[in-house]
Amino acid sequence: MRIAIIGGGLSGLVSAYRLSPDHEITIYEKSAELGGLLSSYHRGTYSIERYYHHFFTGDESFLHLLDELRLTEDILWLKGSTGTYLNGVIYPLTTPIEILRYPYLTIPDKIKLGLFTKKVRTFDLSELDAISAEKFLHEQVGDKIYQSFFRPLLKSKFGMNAEKVSAAWLVSRVAIRSDRSLAGERLGYLNKGFSRFINTISGQITERGGEIRISSPVTSLIRQEKTWFVNDEPYEGIIATIAPGLLREIGVPISDVPYQGAACLTMGLKRAVTNGIYWINLYDNAPYGAVIGHTCFAPFSWYGEHIIYLASYFTGNPVPDLKEQMIRDFCKKFGVQKSDILWTELSLDPFAGPLYLAGYKPRMEELTVPGMSLAGMFSAENYPERSIEGSVRAGERAAKEIISFSQLEGRPL
């Protein structure tokens, strides 16, 4: 069976890997680099992801895939510390002791917060989809805890849309991180980054006869009877991993869901500036919502310099001088001199992920195209929070689904 996969990100690569032993696979990737949001910069002596990434102890599908690819020995479980930047001060918020020391919540507030995080796994996500996280948190923990503890998190992930985000997303996010130990949370990373994983899985695809076309955007996608034509080339099956809005641009009749863009500024610094904390959400106004001290997570020795991400999300188009604004604000807030900065790179993706606004799930469930398998970040596997695990599971489901479609149409496999 001849199958085209649109998008060479994680889901597309997983689908191709599962199908390539028995089928004729072609991946179309518009950029010059595979991996999508998991792609990397290559800095001579090391590679570093364009967008910050980690995975979790419960990511069974991804961990199984790493085992298949013989990359299990590359898995590292590292401490993922967190904090908040508020009124010019960095407050660590990783351990219960640090939360107890946080001066912007009273002891009763902290007890209420602790009880909420214990209760969070009992909520039914389907009942929370239509409720905003802001409303839900005001009801559950009150305005003070919302403003000083949860609002910086929502702002760091959704920017100007923070107040409209679904409570289902918030509860899912808190639940996955609510089982941390007294020492903090363990997060997964791969030895010297994810680029080896991308190289390994793509190498397996090509060794099995699959074709990977980088710098090859899909400009037309048409179905005539039972045949799909991708840029005028015929295929019997299609797996699409790109955003619905992009599918609509090339003529696919599909409904849409709101997406947000990501702007991620990566920097190499001469010195550490985040007080040893991996992830800092900003309460204070800034042109970015979070500062990620990558080398407070992955070993500094891999890089020989301190790696920082500044993460920002946007809808529409980012401001023209965003990079300069981010650098200027970061230097001011964190006491960085221009001479401390060794290099900078800004990555922009206008379709970085769905906006999980209140009422998202019904719109997600309407996303279907007859005869096409969809495996993008808008898929059910990535609801109500996108992740590496969700993208792997979406790719695996799409690979099985496209075979089922063919069998229903009576095609020989």
Q: What is the pLDDT of residues 233-255, one digit of tens each?
A: 999 999 999 999 999 999 999 99
Asked if pLDDT for residue 374 goes beyond 70, the answer is: yes
CA angle 307, 309, 310 (to 5 degrees): 145
Residue with the bigger pLDDT between 181 and 305: it is 305
pLDDT classification of 63: cutoffs 50, 70, 90: very high
Average pLDDT over residues 91-105: 93
Residue 256: exposure state from Cβ atoms within 10 A (0-12, 13-18, ≥19): middle
How high is the pLDDT of residue 176?
Answer: 83
- What is the bridge-based pairing of β-strands 372-374 and 237-240? parallel
Task: State which amino acid sits at residue 341.
Answer: I
Average pLDDT over residues 335-361: 97
Q: Of 92, 123, 118, which Cα lies nearest the Cα of 177?
A: 118
Which fold is adopted by the domain 2-38+194-255+357-408?
FAD/NAD(P)-binding domain (3.50.50)
How high is the pLDDT of residue 410?
Answer: 64
The rounded distance, in Å, linking the Cα atoms of 252 and 383 is 23
Average pLDDT over residues 322-350: 98
The rounded distance, in Å, linking the Cα atoms of 36 and 279 is 22
How high is the pLDDT of residue 185?
Answer: 85
Average pLDDT over residues 161-187: 86
Token pair of 91 as six digits: 């407050």
| DSSP of 282-311 | E-S--SSSEEEEGGGTS-GGGTSSEEEEEE
pLDDT classification of 181: cutoffs 50, 70, 90: low
Please give the mean pLDDT across all residues of the chain.
Answer: 95
Asked if pLDDT for residue 256 goes beyond 70, the answer is: yes
The rounded distance, in Å, linking the Cα atoms of 9 and 27 is 10
Which fold is adopted by the domain 95-179?
protoporphyrinogen ix oxidase, domain 3 (1.10.3110)
Asked if pLDDT for residue 362 goes beyond 80, the answer is: yes
Q: Tens digit of pLDDT for each residue in 108-164?
A: 999 999 999 999 999 999 999 999 999 999 999 999 999 999 999 999 999 889 999
Say if residues 10 and 38 touch (Cβ distance below 8 Å): yes
The rounded distance, in Å, linking the Cα atoms of 276 and 354 is 31
How high is the pLDDT of residue 413?
Answer: 59
CATH 1.10.3110 domain extents, the chain: 95-179
pLDDT classification of 96: cutoffs 50, 70, 90: confident
Average pLDDT over residues 25-42: 98
How high is the pLDDT of residue 64?
Answer: 99
How high is the pLDDT of residue 160?
Answer: 87
Task: State which amino acid sits at residue 309.
Answer: Y
Q: Tens digit of pLDDT for each residue in 284-322?
A: 999 999 999 999 999 999 999 999 999 999 998 998 999
CATH 3.50.50.60 domain extents, the chain: 2-38+194-255+357-408
The rounded distance, in Å, linking the Cα atoms of 107 and 345 is 42
Asked if pLDDT for residue 183 goes beyond 70, the answer is: no
| DSSP of 176-230 | HTTT-BTTBEEEEEETT-SHHHHHHHHHHHHHTT-EEETT-----EEEETTEEEE
Say if residues 49 and 193 touch (Cβ distance below 8 Å): yes
Which residues have C-beta within 8 Å of that of residue 64, sequence separation ≥ 6? none
How high is the pLDDT of residue 179?
Answer: 65
